[in-house]
Chain A
Amino acid sequence: MSQTKPYRVSHLDALEAESIFVMREVMAEFERPVLLFSGGKDSIVMLRLAEKAFAPARIPFPVMHVDTGHNFAEVLEYRDTRVATLGLNLVVASVQEAIETGLVRELPDGTRNRIQTPVLLAAVEKYRFDALFGGARRDEEKARAKERMFSFRDEFGQWDPKNQRPELWGLYNGKHHPGESIRVFPLSNWTELDVWHYIAKEQIPLPSIYYAHDREVVERGGMFYAVNEFIRLRDGETSEVRRVRYRTVGDASQTAAVLSEADTVEKVIDEVAATRITERGATRGDDKVSEAAMEDRKREGYF
């Protein structure tokens, strides 16, 4: 803790203290918490906060990856290494398996964002998870700006924006009936820049795709998609090798890269501070559907 004057607390220290408080509240009040881990930077920061909240004990809950089957190899490798290092129990909820067993049906366009939701809800039911930590931040999107730190979900996993519990002081109400659950967002008050400053401060390793690298990409609607097994060139398209990095890591078939020379955390911070486009706007095909795309997905039980 840096102290240039007595009892000074930087904004990052204050955010960290709040997130740790929230995680400990959940551990104290719930039976079966789980941390949703995508291998993205927000869930990586959340995992770091969980480490800090319970040290010197191990993280006292499992992590769950809702796996669309459309993964970046670097991210899967990172996930497995991290889970092994921390001695965690990993639950994988597989969309591919769910398609094979008939729980969900592959959409005609092959995207799997929307069909993740039933797979997530089935895993919650199977393992009887009652609290799910998610890495969502309120600065990401307008519907998220209105969601609580403790977000109540009914027995169908649905969010009702008009029927949210008031949150006062640090008093979170996690009470629920069997079958209902609470989504908990410890990073609610963090911004993209806060996350990067924290990654720098804590020297947290990230999957390499977050930093600038050369990659074969195809430009679609101003976004740069990696050409790989999930994204193939359409007629008339040509690919090229560009220097890119990923600002967000989601489903590999829908997440685009941005042109970037930022190959260190410091350079990424400078880039994020100077950028004029939101991270979801720059990289997520799935948010472009309608003005209320995120709100609608959350109502259905999305993260």
Chain B
Amino acid sequence: MSQAVLETETAPAARMDLLRFATAGSVDDGKSTLIGRLLYDTKTIFADQLEAVEAASASRGDEYTNLALLTDGLRAEREQGITIDVAYRYFATPRRKFIIADTPGHIQYTRNMVTGASTADLALILVDARKGLVEQSRRHAFLTSLLRVPHLVLCINKMDLVDWDKAVYDKIADEFTSFAAKLEIGDLTIIPVSALNGDNIASRSENSPWYDGPSLLHHLEHVHIASDRNLVDVRFPVQYVIRPQSTTVTDYRGYAGQVASGVLKPGDEVMVLPSGMTSTIAGIDTADGPVDEAFPPMSVTVRLNDEIDISRGDLICRPHNAPAVAQDIEAMICWMDETAPLRVGGKYAIKHTTRTARTVVRGLQYRLDVNTLHRDEQAGELQLNEIGRVRLRTTVPLLADEYRRNRTTGGFILIDESTNRTVGAGMIIEAQ
């Protein structure tokens, strides 16, 4: 193991922010090794964990300490050498805390990548420099775009095995850039690395003098995410109504929730949906006292100046900037259930922000081949891990935005009403 190169002093916690990223790639691409390397170089791996991994590596006959064993947690995974689910990992540097949603790469795990990407600020895709782009790389790029992950990093790994040949890097980078141009990817960074040896992971490597971009960790620490939040459209889904039954606090009625987007201030004129009633904000409370403004992702309690009937599932917005109040929804759906496909006519529970309703599938426009982006308009159903465009009708209106404009008020899940399983994830294209 090389010497760790990064000092992780205790930073003043108040100055650190949070970046969530999703990783995609197969075991063969060295994804677990890359994550192991990030944890190792940021001193996140502890001595007892490293000892356990060294012992496990030795007993398997691995020639080097297999950092992949750090992340493969369940018995079946260790026995079969596979990763079966989304695993979450944590590390921090003095600038940022990082949450990694580590998802397996194979096509049968599209469900997991969609899950990990749904909350990610950044997606990290790995390719093996010897193999170049494969079907899976394109699929991961497409899913990143579908889930509107704002930043994408392509790590071209195992550069040591192609002698750090710039031509190999250029060829893969060009090919990926032209493919990404067809998708909606806001920000793309391509980094040549060797996860096994730690090149261009925590610091710039001397093996790639021709590469003048950042190391992976430097990029993760500095990528600008503050502007990714939507601070324009005020959307406050009401979660819970706080009405203390107490002799000391009387006449308190507050609407608790997490700000989905926009900035709320006391005095602002607001509209409550679906009723359309208007009022003004009397105050915004937290347990630490009132605040002058609330913005994502703060959890606060809003009080209004007028007595309006408001309950869970309602939404507070501005009168001239409101989401659709819609029962007819066009959406891309990723199907997640192995027991039964999505079919036209199927009925499900739908959870959208804090509102739960029922829905029926009115139509399936097409099924999308996630590798070729070909649209099959003859498709009659969506199987596990398949993605398609559907038309839904809901029993009560959803207070919905396009997913591309708002990931919180544009996303929903479908739930099977007999098994209670989460069977689909939806991204709204149009609501009316």
Contacts and interface: CB of A to CB of B under 8 A. Distances in A.
Interface of A: 1-2, 4-5, 7-18, 20-21, 24-25, 27-28, 51-58, 138-139, 142-143, 145-146, 161-162, 164-171, 173, 175-177, 188-189, 191, 193-194, 197, 200-201, 269-270, 273, 275-278, 281-282, 291-292, 295
Given A164-B85, A169-B408, A56 B299 contact: no
6 contacts: A28-B240, A142-B72, A166-B413, A166-B422, A168-B114, A189-B90
B99 interface: yes
Interface stretch (B8-16, B150-158, B194-202): B8-16
Interface string B270-312: 0000000000000001111001000101110100000000001
Contact of A51 (B115, B226, B242, B287): B287
B370 interface: no
A103 B405 CA distance: 56
Interface stretch (B46-54, B124-132, B214-222, B375-383): B46-54
- In this complex, which of B288, B408, B420 has the most chain A Cβ atoms within 10 angstroms of its Cβ? B420
A198 to B, nearest CB: 8
A7 B226 contact: yes
Nearest to B291: A1
A211 to B, nearest CB: 18
A24 to B, nearest CB: 5
Given A17-B299, A166-B336, A11 B96 contact: yes
Contact of B87 (A145, A165, A170): A145
A273 to B, nearest CB: 4
A176 to B, nearest CB: 6
A17 B258 contact: yes
A295 B111 contact: no
Nearest to B336: A166
A188 B288 CA distance: 23
B249 interface: yes
Nearest to A280: B48
A278 B49 contact: yes
B411 interface: yes
A278 B46 contact: yes
A7 B75 contact: no
B415 A166 contact: no
Given A7-B229, A52-B286, A169-B407, A175 B415 contact: yes
Contacts of B115: 166-168
Contact of A11 (B13, B75, B118, B352): B13
A14 B239 contact: no
Given A51-B287, A168-B413, A168-B425, A188 B351 contact: no
Nearest to B11: A273
B92 A193 contact: yes
Contacts of A168: 114-115, 118-119, 411, 413, 422, 425
B17 interface: yes
Contacts of A169: 118-119, 407-408, 411
B161 interface: no
A287 B111 CA distance: 32
A3 to B, nearest CB: 9
B263 interface: yes
Contacts of A291: 52, 56, 78
Contact of B226 (A8, A164, A176): A8
Contacts of A139: 89-90
Q: List the 6 shortest-distance A-B pairs measured between CB atoms, nearest first.
A: A142-B73, A281-B48, A52-B287, A57-B244, A55-B287, A175-B420
B363 to A, nearest CB: 23
A203 to B, nearest CB: 12
B240 A18 contact: no
B50 to A, nearest CB: 9
A146 B10 contact: no
B15 A10 contact: yes
A10 B10 contact: no
B74 A161 contact: yes
Contact of A170 (B97, B240, B243, B258): B258
Contact of B92 (A171, A173, A191, A270): A191
Contacts of B361: none
B17 A11 contact: yes
Nearest to B297: A17
Contact of A15 (B18, B84, B114, B258): B18
Contacts of B114: 166, 168
A171 B313 CA distance: 13
B383 to A, nearest CB: 16
A282 B298 CA distance: 35
Contact of A7 (B15, B85, B252, B295): B295
B349 interface: yes
Contacts of A14: 17-18, 297
A273 B8 contact: yes
Given A2-B14, A164-B85, A173-B420, A138 B226 contact: no
B402 to A, nearest CB: 15
A44 to B, nearest CB: 16
B420 A273 contact: no
A282 B48 CA distance: 8
Nearest to A87: B246
- In this complex, which of A28, A142, A162, A168 has the most chain B Cβ atoms within 10 angstroms of its Cβ? A168
B297 A25 contact: no
A275 B86 CA distance: 28
Contact of A146 (B85, B111, B295): B85
Nearest to A198: B13
